[in-house]
Amino acid sequence: MSLNKPDVSQTTGPTWATEVNANADLLDVHDHSTSKGVKITPSGMNINADLEFNDNDATEVRSLRFQSQAALLADAADLRCLFSFNGDFYYRNAAGASVRVTDGATLDAGTFGGITGMGGTTAAATYSDISKTFTLTQNTNVAAKLAAESVSVFAAGTSTQAVILQYLGTTAKTLTLPEFTAALAHLGNAAQTFTGATTFSNTATFTGATSSSSTATFTGPATFSNTSSFTGTATLTAPAFTGNPTGSITSGTYSATITALGNCTVTTPATLNYMRVGTIVLVSGRISVDVTTTLANAACTVSLPVASSFASAGQASGTAMGSTDATTHFSITGSGSVLYLDQNGQVQVSNAAYELIAMYLIV
């Protein structure tokens, strides 16, 4: 402050009085700022009331160290303030609501509408901007479980085309996916077992072994290209099954290819009827076979409505009777993948129309 001190026993008035007055003026304006007194240190301060900053900033603060409160702040004046309660960080807004910011060692995600309960655990929710993937883990490299009413799985590169996974049952069940060694277009490539009532309302394709021990309802086309077994009721309400599902029931017409093997001419194709029950198929209808020489052996084949590879002739059986002469007929057996018609020299007249009925096993 540069006070001018009088010399004891030397300075006399009026000089002494002038110096005293000058020093008094300096003391009157001293505020401990630069050149106006010694700086006050924290040890010389005792702040025992609210400290007013007069709408100014507190600058160059290394850190703020809060005293953890025994209860949430509730005084009317405690608005728009930061504080610590029970070791966590809070902000009390203008409405007097205490907003929790931290939860233990993490942010309180519940405050921000995020995932709660992760504080103090090894769980994590992360996002990779490289793979564009969200990952939920319960521990390092250990995936977490997910519970949801439904999950929408979108086609790659779109946010409009999705499959919704949703359980419509009333009791808890577990859906287990089988192990596989290559990328699959759908689960039908692997063995499938359905133990509860199952409804397929669109195209169903199963290229792996399929088994159902309860009611199976197909309201869309169903294709089975491997061993399939239905020990419960199998109901088809739309286009026919294809493949080989035991327990399927279907019927219709098909365009059969007639092939002459010897001593005859044929008209092909022919529209025939068929009915399938499980692995048994019944075929019926009219075919045109004109024997070239009567009382001589004649033979031809008829294609199948549902594919089969006969291991023996007896896996198919039937007859084709002449439309005008019941004594004239062809016997029918299985041969490879067709029905084999043979008259063994019994045809006594040239009769082009025959009524065919045969039954065979799908193998």
Bridge partners (DSSP) listed for residue 282: 275, 359
> What confidence tens digit (pLDDT) does each residue in 311-353 have?
999 999 999 988 877 677 889 999 999 999 998 766 555 667 8
User: What is the rounded (10 degree) CA torsion for 326, 328, 333, 335?
Assistant: -140
Examine the domain organization and report whether 294 and 216 are in the same domain.
no
Closest CA to 320 of 335, 349, 291, 342: 342
The angle at the Cα of 189, spanning 188 to 191, to the nearest 5 degrees, equals: 75
Examine the domain organization and report whether 263 and 338 are in the same domain.
yes
Confidence of residue 358 (pLDDT cuts 50, 70, 90): very high
Examine the domain organization and report whether 233 and 306 are in the same domain.
no
Confidence of residue 277 (pLDDT cuts 50, 70, 90): confident
Tell whether 48 is covered by a domain: no
Tell whether 224 is covered by a domain: yes
The residue from 245, 271, 292 where one domain ends is 245
Examine the domain organization and report whether 260 and 357 are in the same domain.
yes
Examine the domain organization and report whether 300 and 222 are in the same domain.
no
Percent of the chain whose pLDDT exceeds 70: 73
> What confidence tens digit (pLDDT) does each residue in 16-58 have?
777 778 777 767 667 777 777 777 788 888 888 888 889 999 8
Confidence of residue 122 (pLDDT cuts 50, 70, 90): confident
Examine the domain organization and report whether 279 and 199 are in the same domain.
no
Place of tokens 């949430």: 72
Q: Are 24 and 15 within 8 A, CB to CB?
A: no
What is residue 51's predicted lDDT score, i.e. its pLDDT?
Answer: 86
Examine the domain organization and report whether 347 and 262 are in the same domain.
yes
Q: Which residues contact 234 (CB under 8 A, 6 or more apart)?
A: 212, 216, 218, 245, 247, 248, 249
- b or e along 254-270 (b: 16 or more beta carbons within 10 Å of the residue's beta carbon)? bebebebeebbebeeeb
Tell whether 216 is covered by a domain: yes
Q: Which residues contact 81 (CB under 8 A, 6 or more apart)?
A: 73, 91, 92
Full domain range(s) for residue 280: 252-361
- b or e along 214-223 (b: 16 or more beta carbons within 10 Å of the residue's beta carbon)? eebebeebbb
The residue from 193, 214, 245 where one domain ends is 245
Q: Give the number of domains in the chain.
A: 4
Tell whether 270 is covered by a domain: yes
What is residue 185's predicted lDDT score, i.e. its pLDDT?
Answer: 43
What is residue 186's predicted lDDT score, i.e. its pLDDT?
Answer: 46
Tell whether 349 is covered by a domain: yes
Q: How far apart are CA 165 and CA 76, in angstroms?
A: 51
The residue from 52, 76, 100 where one domain ends is 100
Examine the domain organization and report whether 293 and 208 are in the same domain.
no
In this structure, what CATH number is given to the domain that contains residue 264?
Answer: 2.60.90
Say if residue 160's pLDDT is above 60: yes
Q: How far apart are CA 156 and CA 162, in angstroms?
A: 9
Confidence of residue 238 (pLDDT cuts 50, 70, 90): very low
What is residue 292's predicted lDDT score, i.e. its pLDDT?
Answer: 83
> What confidence tens digit (pLDDT) does each residue in 80-104 have?
999 999 999 999 999 999 988 888 8
Neighbours of 136 (CB within 10 A): 13
Examine the domain organization and report whether 321 and 266 are in the same domain.
yes
Examine the domain organization and report whether 4 and 25 are in the same domain.
yes
Tell whether 111 is covered by a domain: no
The two three-digit tokens of residue 160, written as one number: 């409009």
Confidence of residue 183 (pLDDT cuts 50, 70, 90): very low
CA 64, 67, 72, 74 torsion: positive or negative? negative
